[in-house]
Chain A
Amino acid sequence: MTIRYEEDHRQHSTRPTRTTVDSAHAKRTRGEDPAPSPHHEFNGVPANYREINGWGADLDPKNRPSFPMEYPSDVKTARGPVKHWQQPHTKIHQSNEHPGLTPVFGEAVPPHGLSGLLRDYAYQYGEGTTRHWMTLMLADRVDIVESMVVDAFRGRPDNYVKEKAWSAKIKYADAEQRRRYLYYGAAALGAIAVGITLSRVFADHED
């Protein structure tokens, strides 16, 4: 017995041919949609995908700018040629998977306080360890509390309402959200009214 190989046995696609496309479209127009959800929308997609503006412009891999993913290169060292090195002004934390500082780096926020000590600890461990990342997450939380206290003393206290932009929630709310706020508002007013009444009642009893 001989096994016959099809000329092109690979299945390229779940919708490989013009015929499949046309029949799928015909099915849809007949209401026999393979997509059973009534929420599945086909608006704007032409029956023949080749009609789409720009279709296939980059079908040829030669037109795809990152193909292949890697260029050939004869650079063999991790850093390659480096002419100048930035000098640090503050403490720069460094992954222990780097042999030293990188030629450039950011100095956005120098480490400080308890969160800084936690970061020192975290950076002793490699990027493959949970301890490294979880300690940094913890340090971030400590940093938030520290900065809140420090900035309050510096005369730049946190303004939660403004920083969280609660105003936007109202300003840009849609009708449904507005209605929800109205309900919350009404409920809050109701609660206050009940509270006042109850306190009056109890106050009356004390008399």
Chain B
Amino acid sequence: MRAMTYRGPFRVRVETKPDPEILHPNDAIVRVTRAAICGSDIHLYHGLMADTRVGQTFGHEFIGVVEEVGPEVDNLKAGDKVLVPFNVCCGTCYFCSRGLYGNCHNTNPNATAVGGIYGYSHTCGGYDGGQAEYVRVPFANFGPTIIPDDIDDDDALMLTDALPTGYHAAQMGDIQEGQTVVIFGAGPVGIYAARCAWLMGAGRVIVTDHLDYRLEFVSRYGPAETINFTHLKDPVVYFKKITDFVGPDVCIDAVGCDASGSMLQALAGFHLKLQAGNAVALHWAINSVRKGGTVVIIGAYGPPYNLVPIGSAMNKGLTIHANQAPVKRQLPRLFEHIRNGYIKPSEIITHRFPLEDIAEAYRVFTSKLDGCIKPIVMPTAA
């Protein structure tokens, strides 16, 4: 099969690889019809995630058609159209049985700190991902979800990660009616978080980024108030000022370790590798939020550690909520929201590339060229 492979920081190519095989009675093989590139893939692409091996196929956002199932898979059959949540999870371990599907203990031998994720380094289980023609899907009885007839393919693709993650971010904010929510990052996750914050009853939603085209998009799609942080001397002081010096109730970090906005953080994170990337957005979030408020970390940071003002988090009495989104749990509610017309996930898709041009897709997405918000790749001729 043809599959994207990692070559080193900023370099990917398409190669011919052996087709995946069933390796466990609960496995399925899925023929990919659409895959997306996620902001998380940028961290891999930049070489920020430990144990990212040359030759791995990335891609944890994909939908497709079931080609083959293992003998123990009884709720899927060849020909079913499925969306596959990005979490590889068993559904029955200590953590899955409690609904923590993003924290499965049975799918990642390489680490206990993170569950299994498709195409996301060996630190996340060493699975090949969906930016390919075929993928092996473990615990197929549990993860993959048949796409309902009234949900279109592009929407279904956004339901594998980006939308449930944005929704989860808003949900983890424990938003109460009328509260002020500040979202750092106007990427797909931040954009969806802004939309979903209203569904949770927010009274004011503000998004900050340094890319005007993304701010312009979220101002309509959220809707949201927007502010380009490069125009601010000190974003933290700014967020205090516009909330009558109380501070926002909820701050959501939807940026993660590839942030820009602090030379010191970038030096320590990108150049010296003394911390896992650049944590300036989280730094701002902790400092901006009001005392007793909630900080949500949905942006991804690699191990081992980051420079953040944890002392202020204590002194301010903050609640910090963070997790990989348990995608499967959000799906039924998100299907309803799509049907009710509360959200149209596919509207953020800006670019489509054939799999063979995936190096271009990565470049356009990571360098934020051509007004790119969300690029998808089409592996098969289908």
Q: Are B219 and A43 touching (Cβ within 8 A)? A: yes
Q: Are A58 and B199 touching (Cβ within 8 A)? A: yes
Question: Which residues of A have CB within 8 Å of B363?
Answer: 164-166, 168-169
Q: Are A105 and B109 touching (Cβ within 8 A)? A: yes
Q: Which of A56, A101, A105, A158 contacts B11 (CB 8 A)?
A: A158
Q: Name the residue on A nearest B13 (C-beta).
A: A163
Cα–Cα, bound, A104→B91 (Å) = 13
Q: Least Cβ distance of B378 to chain A in Å?
A: 17
Q: Does B40 contact A (CB under 8 A)?
A: no
Cα–Cα, bound, A101→B238 (Å) = 50
Q: Are B93 and A13 touching (Cβ within 8 A)? A: no
Q: Are A140 and B242 touching (Cβ within 8 A)? A: no
Q: Are B337 and A54 touching (Cβ within 8 A)? A: yes
Determine which residue in B7, B109, B304 has the highest number of CB atoms from chain A within 10 A of its CB, and name it.
B109
Q: Does A3 contact B (CB under 8 A)?
A: no
Question: Contacts A12-B178, A17-B178, A59-B201 given: A162-B111 contact, CB under 8 Å?
Answer: no
Q: Are A66 and B168 touching (Cβ within 8 A)? A: yes
Question: Contacts A14-B180, A109-B56, A174-B370 given: A56-B201 contact, CB under 8 Å?
Answer: yes
Q: Which of A39, A40, A97 contacts B242 (CB 8 A)?
A: A40
Question: Which residues of A have CB within 8 Å of B337?
Answer: 54, 57
Cα–Cα, bound, A73→B100 (Å) = 11
Q: Name the residue on B nearest A76 (C-beta).
A: B94
Q: Are A66 and B99 touching (Cβ within 8 A)? A: yes
Q: Which of B25, B200, B303 contacts A133 (CB 8 A)?
A: B303
Q: Which positions 207-261 of chain B face chain A at CB distance < 8 Å?
A: 215, 219-220, 222-228, 231-232, 238, 241-244, 246-249
Q: Which positions 30-50 of chain A face chain B at CB distance < 8 Å?
A: 34-37, 39-46, 49
Cα–Cα, bound, A76→B139 (Å) = 21
Q: Does A64 contact B (CB under 8 A)?
A: yes
Q: Are B225 and A37 touching (Cβ within 8 A)? A: no
Question: Which residues of B have CB within 8 Å of A139?
Answer: 51
Q: Name the residue on A nearest B23 (C-beta).
A: A86
Q: Are A137 and B273 touching (Cβ within 8 A)? A: yes
Chain B interface residue count: which class? Answer: 35 or more
Q: Least Cβ distance of A42 to chain B in Å?
A: 5
Q: Name the residue on A nearest B292 (C-beta).
A: A11
Cα–Cα, bound, A41→B215 (Å) = 9
Annotate A69-109 by CB proximity to B: 1 below 8 A, 0 otherwise: 11111011111111111110000111101100111111111
Q: Does B84 contact A (CB under 8 A)?
A: no
Q: Which positions 99-147 of chain B face chain A at CB distance < 8 Å?
A: 99-100, 105-113, 116, 119, 122-123, 125-128, 138-139
Q: Which of A53, A66, A122, A143 contacts B171 (CB 8 A)?
A: A66
Q: Are B225 and A42 touching (Cβ within 8 A)? A: yes
Q: Are A58 and B50 touching (Cβ within 8 A)? A: no
Q: Which of B112, B172, B177, B244 contacts A12 (CB 8 A)?
A: B177
The 4 closest A-B pairs by CB, nearest first: A54-B342, A106-B127, A106-B126, A59-B201
Given A65-B332, A168-B360, 7 other A-B contacts at CB below 8 A? A14-B244, A36-B241, A66-B99, A80-B96, A102-B108, A103-B90, A164-B359
